[in-house]
Structure 1
């Protein structure tokens, strides 16, 4: 067994757009990273691509001079973490995939399989914006939108491992169609992927991502319309979640949170206006942004390998 003083772990975040892998050292610092495009939309076998990335990451870690002690792999969708099975993930075309057993057979390492949003919640609870809080709500805003409800520092998985699929809340019941088959879902309007698709569908220049649309919102009326719809829809959804869950704070993460005040200010205003009889919870930016799920995967890998996870492990250094 690799001595704890030399232990490194592998972490893989499988997303709808890219797959990100990193080697973490014993202090929670990234020593090596790989980012590759997701194969979810090009007809290739997505499981094969994940396996290839995990093997490459293992080989790279060994070349760096330390055999890894374990690996954590996180995905979107409905993930049975206890069985290591991705039951359904539309964005990456997974259905009943026994990913834990597959990666364990490939690498011969302890494996933790997790949900990307819940893993991000683990990272925020251990070392980020939720550190020291008994309960909080985390929403990573990426290709889609999921939420993590953290109670006593532990993400809530739900009875069928599908808690937190708030991206498919029908905020606009008669609204635009969603890939899930419903209409008016939150992520159609307020995810990074949804913003880009709406802008193009409504006649905007094709190929612009959400970051470009946010920048264009000051001069492009259509970009402004799409951005305003996103922030208002997100604020409305957060008001509903606040009334149901009463979180101590709400943490926004993912790539879309990088927009800063341009996102947070109108979302805060919508949230405040929708809670007429109570104060809104604090709305905070993730300490890790788009890296949160991957850090959470590393924490899950350490736990799977029987390694301690000290408070603030992986926290950003000043």
Structure 2
């Protein structure tokens, strides 16, 4: 299996890794915990170790390049800032170590958005799309006229920090009332007092009053933020991804209703769940790897 690249997608709770073929097929999938609680240096070491393990020669697998997707503000050469991990200006070389393969560093959500364009719903003739993974945190990949839009400084798509209730609960970014403080997987779980948001969804479906309140507030926060985004950017389609989107109809049905209710004078955009599921980020990291390989080949 030589026609693959190594790929790692770093999330706030877990890291996903494996080998990605040109058509997006994932081989040798592996999941490891992200040691966020142990500090930024420990996370960097864990990411570097994962990359090294995947690129090390092994029987039957010889990756051609490596792609790494991480959260925060990212350039090709630095992880400039990540509130999730406390990173500031971490050089790409810190993640790739002594790896002697073409390598590329990219933003996790933007990379997942590229995968959505290449393999998912966003690639089916829709030119203006918001791809919104809802996991440990929330950020969006903005697609305008068929192309990803990063903004003037690379900050476009920070939907998770739209203040839905300006005097609300504190967010890790330093603001109050951010969408992510109510609707991210971590926030939903913490506000109820369990480890995973899926447990809150299950309890809400069983009629638990407090779980229904926490989940209802999360859906309302999403509706408020997406109404704001819709009025500014006018997307034809909003694609939900990440672990929280696995709630399916428990999320999408009330969200569609509440979003429509927040847009009195215009129709709401279509809202769907990504068919790529939680693998979009890893597939996007694979695209980074293929791009790194093409760049090397193109310069030769």
TM-score with structure 2 setting the length: 0.93
Aligned residues of 2:44 and 2:95 also touching (Cα < 8 A): no
Aligned residues of 2:26 and 2:283 also touching (Cα < 8 A): no
3-state DSSP of counterpart to 1:107: coil
| Structure-2 residue corresponding to 1:305 | 293
Q: 2:190 aligns with which of 187, 193, 197?
A: 197
Aligned residues of 2:52 and 2:96 also touching (Cα < 8 A): no
Q: 1:114 to 1:240 in 2, by over 3 A?
A: same
| Structure-2 residue corresponding to 1:8 | 4
| Structure-2 residue corresponding to 1:40 | 36
Instruction: Report the Cα offset of residue 219 of structure 1.
Output: 2.3
Q: Deviations over 1:133-175 (max 9, x none)?
A: 2121110000000011112432211111111111111110111
Aligned residues of 1:79 and 1:162 also touching (Cα < 8 A): no
Aligned residues of 1:252 and 1:284 also touching (Cα < 8 A): yes
Where do 1:1-318 residues align within 5 Å?
6-43=2-39, 45-59=42-56, 62-80=57-75, 83-99=76-92, 101-131=93-123, 132-200=125-193, 207-217=194-204, 218-306=206-294
Instruction: Report the Cα offset of residue 26 of structure 1.
Output: 4.2
Distance in 2, matches of 1:103 and 1:192, equals: 26
Aligned residues of 2:2 and 2:63 also touching (Cα < 8 A): no
Aligned residues of 1:6 and 1:26 also touching (Cα < 8 A): no
Extract unaligned runs of 5+ from structure 2. Answer: 296-300
Distance in 2, matches of 1:163 and 1:63, equals: 39
Distance in 2, matches of 1:220 and 1:194, equals: 18
3-state DSSP of counterpart to 2:294: coil
Extract unaligned runs of 5+ from structure 1. Answer: 201-206, 308-318
Distance in 2, matches of 1:30 and 1:15, equals: 18
Distance in 2, matches of 1:123 and 1:244, equals: 24
Distance in 1, matches of 2:69 and 2:215, equals: 29
Instruction: Report the Cα offset of residue 50 of structure 1.
Output: 0.6
TM superposition outliers: structure 1 runs of 4+ over 3 Å: 102-105
3-state DSSP of counterpart to 1:66: coil
Aligned residues of 2:6 and 2:18 also touching (Cα < 8 A): yes
Q: How many residues align?
A: 292
| Structure-1 residue corresponding to 2:298 | none
Aligned residues of 1:104 and 1:110 also touching (Cα < 8 A): no
Distance in 2, matches of 1:27 and 1:259, equals: 27
Aligned residues of 2:48 and 2:97 also touching (Cα < 8 A): no
Aligned residues of 2:45 and 2:95 also touching (Cα < 8 A): no
Aligned residues of 1:156 and 1:163 also touching (Cα < 8 A): yes
3-state DSSP of counterpart to 2:36: coil
Q: Deviations over 1:172-219 (max 9, x none)?
A: 01111111111111001011111011112xxxxxx3310010000132
3-state DSSP of counterpart to 1:45: helix
